[in-house]
Amino acid sequence: MNEFMKAAYEEAAKNLETNEGGPFGAVIVKDGEIVAAARNMVLATNDPTMHAEIAAIRAATKQLGRCHLDDCVIYSTCEPCPMCMAAIMWARIPTVYYGADRRDAAAIGFADNAIYEYFQGTAAEKAVSVSELDRRECVQLFERWAKKNDRTLY
Amino acid sequence: MNEFMKAAYEEAAKNLETNEGGPFGAVIVKDGEIVAAARNMVLATNDPTMHAEIAAIRAATKQLGRCHLDDCVIYSTCEPCPMCMAAIMWARIPTVYYGADRRDAAAIGFADNAIYEYFQGTAAEKAVSVSELDRRECVQLFERWAKKNDRTLY
């Protein structure tokens, strides 16, 4: 195996011995060195966002003291779900390597593929009711923020 | 304004006075009561996943001691980005109300709409290079996990 994927695999394998989360691991690499390694900790933390990739992004950004990782690569034992893939984009990580894919995750009971279908517009049923409310006031707040001289985009 | 959207708006408005994050707020409501209120804290924390909705989900699941919020409603001042929408699905929140939409967010410089286009397959350019690597070993790990008698799905 690739040495970094092997490190992600070893993170994931820890959850074969625990009930702390699913069999998923990820590492983030900068300049050929691992800066963060993490595994899924959804059950241990009760945090449904604590997927391996998000845990690794949180650890790497904390370690490096910045919110963008545009000089990093992420290795994940499973294709990132849409939550994690969008997190990778917000973190500006340009390169992703993954092992098993969304259909392999579906085969062991996870919703990754179903969530992809929601975004592709091909889902059989609508998983969530989503409605607009009070748009005018919220857009006014955006306009006030856009006039702020010291605002920072990220 | 709706009382819960107003509470989300007041969270968002705090970031007009700070450089802690963008002008986004969210609240999670259970049985007519707010169980968590949060705002975007990406800049304060250097955590690119610390959007208002994810911060609210993390606070609500911590407060309630469980990773599923299927009896809750989320109110957000902006349409959740794909990261946050997928987090809402993993948290099993069935109902979302939002104020401004993805195009309003784009108008003030945020990537929400571009990330939606990536998942819809309509993006003008590929933001991230995504490649498969060592799938066989990672699927074998899934198979070992699926045979685990005490595994928990979430």
Name the pLDDT band for B124 (thresholds 50, 70, 90).
confident
pLDDT score of A124: 80
Please compute the mean of the pLDDT values over residues B13-37 and round it to a whole number.
97
* Greatest Cα-to-Cα distance within chain A, rounded to the nearest angstrom: 53
Pairwise CB contact (< 8 Å): B133 & A19? no
Global ipTM? 0.96
Q: How far does B81 lie from chain A, in Å, by closest CA?
A: 8
Q: Which bin fits B152, alpha (ψ -120 to 50), beta or left (φ > 0)?
A: beta
Chains A and B form CB pairs within 8 A to the count of 287
pLDDT score of A127: 80
pLDDT score of A34: 98
Name the pLDDT band for A141 (thresholds 50, 70, 90).
very high
pLDDT of B125 over the 90 cut: no
Pairwise CB contact (< 8 Å): A129 & B96? yes
Pairwise CB contact (< 8 Å): B43 & A67? yes
CA gap B10, A101 in Å, rounded: 41
Q: Say whether residue A103 is in contact with chain B using an 8 A CB cutoff.
A: no
Name the pLDDT band for B127 (thresholds 50, 70, 90).
confident
Interface list for A 26-85 with B (CB within 8 A): 42-43, 45-49, 54, 57-58, 61-62, 65-68, 75, 77-79, 81-85
CA gap B64, A112 in Å, rounded: 25
Residue B104, burial from CB neighbour count under 10 angstroms (0-12, 13-18, 19+): buried
| pLDDT tens per residue, range A74-131 | 999 999 999 999 999 999 999 999 999 999 999 999 999 999 999 999 988 778 999 9
pLDDT of A149 over the 90 cut: no
Query: What do you get for the CA distance between the two ends of chain B, in Å?
Result: 35
User: 3-state SS of chain B: helix, strand, coil percent to 5?
Assistant: 40, 20, 40
Pairwise CB contact (< 8 Å): A67 & B88? no
| Residues of B classed as catalytic | 53
Q: How far does A57 lie from chain B, in Å, by closest CA?
A: 8
Calculate the alpha carbon distances from A97 to A123, B135, B140 in Å.
Answer: 26, 10, 17
Of B9, B46, B84, the CB nearest to A141: B9
Residue A12: CB atoms within 10 Å: 28
* Stretch (H or E) spanning B10: helix B3-14
Q: Are B109 and A83 in contact (CB under 8 A)?
A: no
Q: How far does B148 lie from chain A, in Å, by closest CA?
A: 7
Percentage of chain B exceeding pLDDT 70? 100
Task: List the structure tokens of B106.
Answer: 């784009």
| pLDDT tens per residue, range B71-102 | 999 999 999 999 999 999 999 999 999 999 99
Calculate the alpha carbon distances from B80 to A36, B40, B137 in Å.
Answer: 27, 12, 35
Pairwise CB contact (< 8 Å): A48 & B57? yes
Of A82, A84, A154, the CB nearest to B42: A154
| pLDDT tens per residue, range B30-49 | 999 999 999 999 999 999 99
